[in-house]
């Protein structure tokens, strides 16, 4: 097996992903800063001019916009629903993924669990058990959790038995899930983030319905480890001459 793969020009290597690590470190530092402020200096943050949050809002907005428009989306994991990242496999057949496409159980369970969690946050907020600062804190926590899922360990991957982020059925749900608590605070910026997250999710689900062949490695050869351009910590057989579809 190893010799056969080597004959195909594949090499066994472990790649790195510096940009993903940078995002992970930033999200952890942001969460630490938010924790310190929330628990030790809540009055200080209350008295600040809220415009200092604008750069952070721009960062979150760009993260969502980046996955919605193909021209900005250079990630095979979040962009596999676009035609530019689709390369039919040699034995392309929609029948080969019929069972996978029909599996709505796992996404449905995750969606229901998230709505229940969101309902719990809403109950705490509207009964004045927590202040609006906690809503922003949850968003920052979810943002850090998303980066941990991508870079270290993901409970959704374990539950859904995905090989990695590239084959994740709900990968582009993350922005909706992260920004959904913001809907409870009336604010134009919050509504924009919620809308962007919702658009990313709806776009993902519509294209999954229309073009399921783009989402699975059995029909999209770009999602196989050998041809995947996405850097990761997994050792895998990689085609060094394969034209990369992503730069990060």
Q: What is the pLDDT of residues 189-235, one digit of tens each?
A: 999 999 999 999 999 999 999 999 999 888 899 888 777 656 565 54
pLDDT over 70 at 239, yes or no: no
Contact 76, 230 (CB under 8 A): yes
CA nearest to 118, candidates 180, 168, 71: 180
Residues 230 and 77: their CA atoms lie apart, in Å, by 8
pLDDT at 28: 96
Helix, strand, coil distribution of the chain in percent, nearest 5: 65, 5, 30
Contact 227, 171 (CB under 8 A): no
pLDDT over 60 at 105, yes or no: yes
pLDDT over 90 at 167, yes or no: no
Question: Does residue 49 fall inside a structural domain?
Answer: no
Taking the mean position of all CA atoms in its chain, how far away is CA 130?
A: 27
Question: Does residue 10 fall inside a structural domain?
Answer: yes
Residue appearing with tokens 């800063």: 33
Which domain does 185 fall in, by range? Answer: 2-42+57-238
Question: Does residue 50 fall inside a structural domain?
Answer: no
Question: Does residue 132 fall inside a structural domain?
Answer: yes
Number of domains in the chain: 1
Question: Does residue 248 fall inside a structural domain?
Answer: no
Question: Does residue 144 fall inside a structural domain?
Answer: yes
Question: Does residue 11 fall inside a structural domain?
Answer: yes
Question: Does residue 107 fall inside a structural domain?
Answer: yes
Contact 156, 110 (CB under 8 A): yes
pLDDT tens digits, 4-20: 434 343 333 444 455 67
pLDDT tens digits, 134-151: 999 999 999 999 999 888
């Amino acid at each position: 097996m190893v010799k056969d793969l080597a004959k195909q020009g594949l090499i066994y290597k472990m790649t790195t992903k510096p940009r993903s690590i940078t995002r992970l470190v930033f999200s952890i530092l942001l969460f630490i800063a938010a924790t310190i402020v929330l628990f030790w200096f809540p009055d200080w943050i209350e008295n600040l001019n809220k415009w200092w949050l604008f750069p952070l809002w721009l960062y979150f907005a760009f993260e969502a916009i980046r996955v919605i428009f193909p021209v900005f989306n250079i990630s095979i994991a979040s962009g596999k629903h676009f035609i530019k990242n689709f390369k039919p496999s040699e034995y392309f057949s929609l029948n080969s993924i019929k069972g996978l496409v029909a599996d709505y159980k796992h996404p449905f369970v995750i969606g229901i669990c998230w709505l229940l969690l969101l309902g719990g946050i809403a109950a705490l907020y509207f009964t004045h058990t927590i202040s609006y600062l906690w809503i922003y804190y949850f968003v920052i926590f979810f943002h850090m959790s998303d980066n941990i899922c991508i870079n270290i360990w993901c409970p959704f991957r374990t539950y859904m038995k995905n090989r990695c982020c590239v084959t994740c059925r709900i990968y582009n749900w993350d922005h909706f899930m992260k920004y959904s608590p913001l809907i409870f605070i009336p604010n134009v910026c919050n509504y924009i983030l919620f809308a962007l997250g919702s658009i990313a999710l709806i776009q993902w689900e519509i294209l999954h319905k229309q073009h399921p062949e783009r989402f699975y490695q059995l029909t999209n050869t770009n999602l196989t480890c050998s041809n995947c351009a996405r850097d990761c910590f997994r050792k895998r057989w990689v085609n060094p001459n394969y034209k990369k579809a992503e730069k990060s």
